[in-house]
A and B are shown apart, each in its own frame.
Chain A
Amino acid sequence: MSPAMRIGLPFAVVAIVLVAWEIAVRASHTQGLVPLPSGVVHSALALTEDGTLFSALGSSLERVVIGFAIAAAIGIPIGLAIGTVPVLDRTLRPVLDGLRGVAPIAWIPMAILWLGVRGDAALFVVAYAAVFPFILNTSEAARRIPRSLFHAAESLGAGRLLLIRSVVLPGALPFVFTGARIAMAFAWGSIIAAELAIGIKVQTARRAVAGIGQLMVDTLYVRRDVDALVLYMIVIGIVSFLIDSGLRRAQARLMPWTQR
């Protein structure tokens, strides 16, 4: 297969499917329930032009980034502690496993009760969802560092502090990064869920803080615009992909020794 064919063929397949889709929806009575490809493009242009899409995306991303940072700040130290101190592992693990069983979404009513609908509730849910991958991967990472590396460092003259800085941290880092990627996926997934659940009120009261999820609620109940809904789903997928590939690239840059 020539390079042009290899790149061109998937595009051609997608194009054919989209055209067939468009014809099928127009020929049937499903308009308003099933999106039209042309309608999605139209929505994309309209919502980009009036700024709705980017402002919603911006406020969702802001919450994700802050929630993710909070999760990292809490999860990494806890993970290191339980990964290196067996007693802490034995006492804290059952508690953590129990908490982990409570889905982030289940916290939304409590979060609204404590923090209100402004967006802090969504932030709480995001941080909660993201903290567990950090804890689990960091603790596993710390446990997996070969004993001989500690022995080598000690016999070369490293004290306790240097062991943490020069063996535990760099040794755990690749796994922590894997945890970060999972945490980011959870954070991005739960921000949408949280915003959907917190819903429409905020959207009308304070437009500026409405995220993608809230925009979807509005689109569903108020505007009834199925094309825009699909557009948001596509945007969510693209953003998620971009974040993950960004993190992967950062890992390659920061940890050249993990590249094989």
Chain B
Amino acid sequence: MDAAMSKPIIRLDAVSKTFQAPRGGGMVEALREISLDVRPGEFLSIIGPSGCGKSTLLSLVAGFLSPSAGEILFEGKPITGPAPERGVMFQDYALFPWRTVIGNIEFGPFARGVGRRARRDKAGELAELVGLKGFEDRYPHELSGGMRQRCALARLLANEPKVWLMDEPLAAVDLQTRIILQDELLRLWGDGVESADRPTVVFVTHGIDEAVLLADRVVVLARRPGRIKAVIDIDLPRPRAPLRSVPEVARIVDQLWSVIRDEAAMAIAEEGN
């Protein structure tokens, strides 16, 4: 299968985004002329220092924001707003506090008009798949951070979206939980299983090692304004989970770090002001 030859599932064509800064500030240029093709079935990571606009980029693809200039296409058609074909996972989980685990998981099918019986069954299966069996009737506040993110993942899976848009989904959980969830994420995505209908993942993170371990390609953003600084292919075999301690991974992480070090240092210096 030649991924490079297939048509992009998402295409960003010279996308720029400017914001009105809050409280009477001037205009802030968050992203400038981002052009990027996302290939169907690939796992794409976006990294960059804080304030580089990586979350903004994801919000644009999700349809929560619209570009100030340029165009974003999904399967050749312009994105006009959020849609269930592009599922989203949020750093703060964004689970509905008033719904139980099952209630959260079944929300997508519920919103799309799937009957009660069918969506309940499906939600139950997904709860088991993500390791939440026995917690179906708990409310989000009764769950640990890792379990909340499992629930959010199951909620996304329930709609069977073609694209998973993930905004630093593992940033708020502890290290051990993060490692376990990375492996789970890869497994659920279909790591090591070549399949034509594998979902496409756009994964925003500030963890370089996380990006390297998970992704086929890593997009490095520069900040103020956010621009693409580099796109790096990660030529590691799949499945990836066993590679966690392989020296090759550390070498690629080092290489990526040298690309973004100056940007990161500048970000820290500016934040210190």
Binding site for B on A (CB under 8 A): 146, 148-149, 151-159, 162, 166-167, 170-171, 173, 255-257, 260
Contacts and interface: CB of A to CB of B under 8 A. Distances in A.
Interface string B129-170: 000000000011100000000000001000100000100000
CB-based closest 3 A-B pairs: A148-B94, A157-B84, A154-B82
B111 A153 contact: yes
Contact of A156 (B64, B81, B141, B155): B155
A157 B159 contact: yes
A177 B151 CA distance: 28
Contacts of B108: 156-157
Contacts of A159: 111
Interface residues of B, number: 29
Nearest to A170: B98
A257 B141 CA distance: 7
Contact of A157 (B59, B83, B140): B83
Given A154-B82, A157-B159, A171 B87 contact: no
A88 B137 CA distance: 39
B98 A155 contact: no
Contact of A148 (B90, B107, B111): B90
Contact of B98 (A154, A156, A162, A171): A171
Given A170-B98, A257-B97, A153 B107 contact: yes
Contact of A155 (B84, B97, B99, B139): B84
Contacts of A162: 111
A209 to B, nearest CB: 42
Interface centre among A149, A157, A158, A173 (most CB of B within 10 A): A157
B86 interface: yes
Interface in B59-92: 59, 62-64, 81-84, 86-88, 90, 92
Nearest to B107: A156
Q: Main secondary structure on chain B at its contact with chain A?
A: loop
A9 B122 CA distance: 58
A151 B96 contact: no
B117 interface: no
B10 to A, nearest CB: 15
Given A170-B98, A171-B98, A152 B112 contact: no
Nearest to A149: B94
B86 A149 contact: no
Interface of B: 59, 62-64, 81-84, 86-88, 90, 92, 94-99, 107-108, 111-112, 139-141, 155, 159, 165
Given A154-B64, A155-B87, A257-B98, 15 more contacts: A146-B92, A148-B94, A151-B62, A151-B82, A152-B94, A152-B96, A153-B96, A156-B111, A157-B84, A157-B108, A157-B112, A159-B111, A170-B96, A257-B97, A257-B99
Which of the listed residues B88, B92, B94, B99 has the most CB atoms from chain A within 10 Å of its own CB?
A: B94
Contacts of A154: 63-64, 81-82
Nearest to B114: A157
B94 A151 contact: yes
A152 B64 CA distance: 10
B92 A156 contact: no
B141 A155 contact: no
Contact of B88 (A146, A151, A170): A151
B139 A156 contact: no
A255 B82 CA distance: 29
A152 B159 CA distance: 12
Contacts of B165: 155
A158 B96 CA distance: 13
A158 to B, nearest CB: 4
A166 B63 contact: no
A12 to B, nearest CB: 42
B63 A155 contact: yes
Contacts of B92: 146, 148
A166 B98 CA distance: 9
26 contacts: A146-B92, A151-B62, A151-B82, A151-B94, A152-B94, A153-B96, A154-B63, A154-B81, A155-B62, A155-B82, A155-B83, A155-B84, A155-B88, A156-B111, A157-B84, A158-B107, A162-B111, A166-B96, A167-B96, A171-B97, A171-B98, A255-B98, A256-B139, A257-B97, A257-B99, A257-B141
